[in-house]
Structure 1
Amino acid sequence: MKKYLLALGLVGGLATAYATETITIGASPVPHAEMLKFVKPTLAKQGYDLKITEFSDYITPNLAVTQKQLDANFFQHQPYLDQYNKDHK
């Protein structure tokens, strides 16, 4: 239940932040993409089309966000992101 609420909050917050109707998120297959697939029908009822792109590595999703190929990614914790940003300036 906690994972569902976290995913719903994450995606719901993104849905509010974007004016477009399509949200593209990159995620690791398990558990992140599974959680996004779970909330996808709820977002569809709110008028949002959630596109989920699965990644099997931990570098490409951040690059895709930087290159604006994704609106967001969902796979990492804050310390990892901080280190990634430090290493890829």
Structure 2
Amino acid sequence: MPTYLHEFSDFMDTLDNLYKWREHHLKLKDIILPAIRIVERDAFFNAVLGQATTTRPESPNIYLTPTRPRQLKKETGTNDDITYDSNDDEDEE
């Protein structure tokens, strides 16, 4: 609570931020509660049906082998050495 009148604006900012924080948590509740209900329902049905439940998805058997990055070959010569044959373009059509 503000003691002096000039502290009132800071108090109002604090109340605004508390209200925003509350609204944020209410939105989170609306997102999280349905997800929790689904997980609990699935766990219940898996227990009733006798199926094993996993707490996390199993990882696929993928093995990565370290490799060296490919190095680009340095070009020798200039663009003047390259010749184009206009007949090659006509043959592709």
The TM-score with structure 1 as length reference comes to: 0.21
The TM-score with structure 2 as length reference comes to: 0.20
Task: Give 1 or 2: higher strand fraction.
Answer: 1
Q: Considering Cα pairs closer than 8 Å and 6+ residues apart, tell me whether 1 or 2 has the greater RCO.
A: 1
Higher alpha-carbon Rg:
2
